[in-house]
Amino acid sequence: MAISLQEQTIVETDSQLIVRYRPWTVWILAAWFGLGGLILILVFQFSSWPIMLLSGGSLLILVLTKAESWTFDRPHGQLLMQTWNVLGRRTSTIPLDQIREVRAEAVSSGRRAAASQRLSLVLASDSYLYLSGSYQRDDPTLQDHVRRIRTFLQQS
């Protein structure tokens, strides 16, 4: 059994389908190690480079890791994509009729077999959008999310 380092959820209403990605475990661990290292440096006057590296790396992870939300909005006919981290929020929209396909794609790393998959959208312009989070290779949650998004888009 794999331990999930993130949370992907779908919330569905009559007019919207919302896909959320939250890397809770990564944020909690990075904050814990970063703050612990800072306390060791500031309170106990430890100045060894491994502690400074641990603190700096942990804080960098907090800055670089992002949360995402995709809101498929039927009344407005658009996909609202929101991305945020500790530095701020970015929002963009795409018309729903520009989405050609919803896929579960393998995330490959070189010659190794893909251990994870991700949710992707193929647009009419032949460009791709990827949800930041990944799923375990045989996770039925991903197939359920793909099916639910496809069904929602077909009803739009």
CATH no. for residue 115? 2.30.29
In DSSP terms, which residues pair with 20 in a beta bridge?
Answer: 9, 69
Q: Is the residue at 2 inside a domain? A: no
Q: Is the residue at 84 inside a domain? A: yes
Averaged over 68-82, what is the pLDDT? 96
Amino acid letter for position 89: R
Under the banding of pLDDT at 50, 70 and 90, the label for residue 9 is confident
Q: Is the residue at 103 inside a domain? A: yes
In this prediction, residue 74 carries a pLDDT of 96
Whether 19 has a pLDDT exceeding 50, the answer reads: yes
Q: Give dist(CA 73, CA 113) in Å, integer.
A: 36
* CA-to-CA dists, residue 24 to 30, 112, 122, 148, angstroms: 10, 27, 28, 24
Answer with the residue of higher pLDDT: 15 or 136.
15
Q: What's the number of domains the chain is made of?
A: 2
In this prediction, residue 120 carries a pLDDT of 92
**51 and 115 fall within a common domain:** no
Query: Tokens in use for 69?
Result: 């939300």
**70 and 92 fall within a common domain:** yes
In the chain the first and final C-alpha atoms are separated, in Å, by: 37
In this prediction, residue 147 carries a pLDDT of 94
Under the banding of pLDDT at 50, 70 and 90, the label for residue 3 is very low
Query: Tokens in use for 40?
Result: 């060791």
Whether 110 has a pLDDT exceeding 70, the answer reads: no
Q: Which has the closest alpha carbon to 101: 117, 118, 120, 82?
A: 120
Q: Is the residue at 143 inside a domain? A: yes
Whether 1 has a pLDDT exceeding 50, the answer reads: no
**56 and 114 fall within a common domain:** no
Q: Is the residue at 1 inside a domain? A: no
In this prediction, residue 102 carries a pLDDT of 95
Q: How many CA atoms lie within 13 A of 122 on its CB side?
A: 9
**Which residues constitute the domain of residue 72?**
7-23+66-154
**91 and 121 fall within a common domain:** yes
In this prediction, residue 112 carries a pLDDT of 61
**101 and 41 fall within a common domain:** no
